[in-house]
């Protein structure tokens, strides 16, 4: 009897150990993982029933089955369903709208996603997930129209566009030039009205089209042409000889002050300063200008025509297409994007218009730079300064001294590089120095638009 009793205890002990081992195996083995598949899809989104919806399903053990259902009230339509003979860890689906009859009017639907993984958990059935996502149906395009705009625009010049955009689910609206350059809209006068100063970038040779673009949260899009005539611009080309001394004393210094490595070859030094660094500086100006431009509602725009530097001679014109020669070989070319005025050394620089200082720092080829925001996406730029009297964030007044001219940056002599920016793009300052141009292209357009809006 004792032997039988001992044997039974041994068998029981082995059974218990086996059960523990089996339990540990089931609990710890990847074959029996307990995590259900994950569904990657946004809830409470808008859908126009035209664009495809991207949906992802993932699972460490692999998905062996999924089904996606479009549910409208009590009606269910299977959008996609599949049994996978070889489970996949990541599944990416592009869901199309189901075929709906003409009586479909729902504004709210559901997407139900069911997925099962290949785990041996749940008695070999695997882990299952059922997620429900809510969608808002929006098939209407934003209402968009052009209220008023400047009559014409010149290459390198500016214009004004005032528009109406209306959509309860509006996501974005803007103006594009040739579908390349974007100009943000700011609120104008009354609800659903917007305006933007725009520019024909000097670097874009051909004018194709200017459009108003409005997009809602369901990606319905309205595109409206802005009727603009174009004005020709005379070519203004110049040749500049670059000496070894300039490269050694100026280009090298600018690269070093900008934290850039200096190449060994003289021509390469100039190219890095005049092409690579210049492009980086121009990009920095555009990014800073767009980031800090005043986007408050605009009802009017009282701008004094910008004044030239007192008692100064013009040393460089806007829009000059400059070719650079080193040892009689053309090595580079670039646009001059402002007006250069030369007076006495360290001449006083005064603002013409009030505004807010949004940049005051060293900027490569431009040297020490101050940028002042005047609202409506318009800013003025003062480069190569030797000293500054203002700080970032400071509100400056009309005719306030802000700096002194200098020779910082990629220049040899003391002068002021004066620029006018439209949402970060340097445009022809002469337009903004012309009282009649400002009246006929900007302020009159604002007045006409307000009359049209008030008449509705």
Q: Is 290 helix (H, G, I), strand (E, B) or coil?
A: helix
Number of alpha carbons in the 13 Å side-chain half-sphere of residue 408: 23
Measured on CA atoms in the order 63, 65, 70, 73, is the torsion positive or negative?
Answer: negative
pLDDT value of position 120: 84
Q: Is 286 helix (H, G, I), strand (E, B) or coil?
A: helix
Using CA atoms, how far apart are residues 318 and 338, in angstroms rounded to an integer? 5
Three-point CA angle 339, 345, 349, nearest 5°: 55
pLDDT value of position 16: 58
Using CA atoms, how far apart are residues 361 and 224, in angstroms rounded to an integer? 40
Using CA atoms, how far apart are residues 192 and 165, in angstroms rounded to an integer? 5
Q: Which long-range contacts (CB under 8 A, 24 or more apart) does 433-440 make?
A: 433/305, 433/306, 433/307, 433/308, 434/305, 435/305, 438/303, 438/305, 440/151
Please name which of 400, 354, 352, 362 lies closest in space to residue 384, comparing C-alpha atoms: 362
Q: Which CATH number fits domain 143-233+445-454: 2.30.33.40, 1.25.40.10, 2.40.50.140, 2.60.40.10?
A: 2.60.40.10
CB 294 within 8 A of CB 209: no
Give CA separation, 126 vs 32, 66, 147, 334, in Å: 8, 12, 61, 65
pLDDT value of position 114: 97
Every domain of the chain and the residues it spans: 30-137, 143-233+445-454, 237-423
pLDDT value of position 101: 84
Token representation of residue 11: 């068998």
Sequence-separated (6 or more) residues with CB below 8 Å from residue 456: none
pLDDT value of position 74: 85
How long, in residues, is the chain? 456
Mean pLDDT by 10 residues, the chain (456 residues): 56 56 49 86 94 95 96 93 95 94 89 94 85 96 98 97 97 97 97 98 95 97 97 90 95 96 95 96 96 95 96 94 95 95 95 98 98 98 97 97 97 96 97 98 97 94
pLDDT value of position 26: 47
pLDDT value of position 33: 84
Q: Given this chain, do its domains 143-233+445-454 and 237-423 carry the same CATH topology?
A: no
Superfamily name with CATH number, domain 237-423: Glucose Permease (Domain IIA) (2.70.70.10)
CA 226 to chain centroid: 22
Using CA atoms, how far apart are residues 270 and 248, in angstroms rounded to an integer? 9
Q: Which CATH number fits domain 30-137: 1.10.3720.10, 2.60.40.730, 2.40.10.10, 3.40.1260.10?
A: 2.60.40.730
Q: Return the C-alpha torsion angle 409, 371, 152, 444, nearest 10.
A: -150
* pTM of the model as a whole: 0.86
CB 121 within 8 A of CB 33: yes
pLDDT value of position 125: 81
CB 383 within 8 A of CB 419: yes
């Amino acid at each position: 009897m004792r032997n039988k009793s001992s044997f039974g205890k041994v068998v029981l002990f082995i059974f218990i150990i086996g059960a523990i081992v089996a339990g540990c195996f089931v609990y710890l083995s990847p074959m029996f993982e307990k995590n259900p598949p994950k569904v990657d899809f946004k809830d409470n989104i808008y859908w126009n029933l035209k664009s495809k919806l991207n949906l992802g399903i993932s699972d460490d053990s692999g998905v062996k089955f999924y089904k996606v259902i479009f549910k409208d009230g009590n009606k269910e339509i299977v959008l996609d369903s599949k049994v996978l003979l070889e489970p996949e860890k990541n599944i990416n689906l592009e869901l199309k709208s189901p075929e709906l009859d003409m009586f479909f009017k729902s504004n709210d639907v559901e997407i139900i996603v069911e997925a099962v993984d290949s785990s041996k958990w749940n008695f070999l059935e695997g882990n299952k997930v059922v997620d429900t996502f809510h969608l808002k149906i929006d098939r209407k395009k934003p209402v968009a129209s052009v209220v008023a705009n400047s009559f014409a625009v010149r290459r390198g010049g500016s214009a004004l566009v005032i528009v109406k955009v209306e959509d309860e689910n509006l996501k974005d609206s803007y103006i594009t030039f040739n579908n390349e350059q974007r100009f943000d809209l700011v609120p104008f006068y009354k609800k659903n009205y917007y305006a933007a100063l725009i520019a024909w970038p000097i670097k874009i040779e051909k004018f194709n089209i200017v459009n108003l673009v409005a997009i809602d949260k369901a990606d319905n899009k309205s595109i409206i042409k802005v009727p603009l005539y174009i004005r020709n611009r005379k070519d203004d080309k110049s040749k500049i000889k670059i000496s070894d001394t300039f490269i050694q004393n100026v280009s090298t210094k600018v690269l070093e002050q900008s934290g850039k490595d200096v190449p060994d070859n003289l021509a390469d030094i100039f190219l890095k300063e005049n092409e690579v660094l210049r492009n980086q500086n121009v990009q920095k100006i555009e990014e800073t200008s767009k980031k800090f431009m005043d986007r408050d509602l605009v009802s009017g725009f009282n701008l004094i025509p910008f004044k030239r530097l007192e008692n100064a001679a013009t040393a460089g014109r806007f829009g000059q297409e400059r070719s650079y020669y080193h040892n009689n070989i053309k090595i580079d070319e670039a646009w001059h994007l402002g007006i250069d005025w030369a007076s006495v050394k360290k001449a006083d620089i005064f603002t013409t218009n009030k505004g807010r200082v949004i940049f005051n720092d060293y900027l490569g080829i431009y040297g020490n730079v101050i940028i002042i925001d005047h609202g409506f996406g318009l800013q003025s730029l003062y480069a190569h300064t030797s000293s500054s009297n203002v700080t970032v964030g400071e509100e400056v007044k009309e005719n306030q001294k802000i700096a002194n001219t200098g020779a910082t940056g990629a220049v040899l002599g003391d002068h002021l590089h004066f620029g006018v920016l439209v949402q970060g793009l340097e445009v022809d300052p002469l337009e903004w120095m012309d009282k009649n141009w400002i009246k006929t292209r900007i302020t009159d357009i604002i007045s006409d638009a307000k009359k049209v809006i008030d008449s509705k």
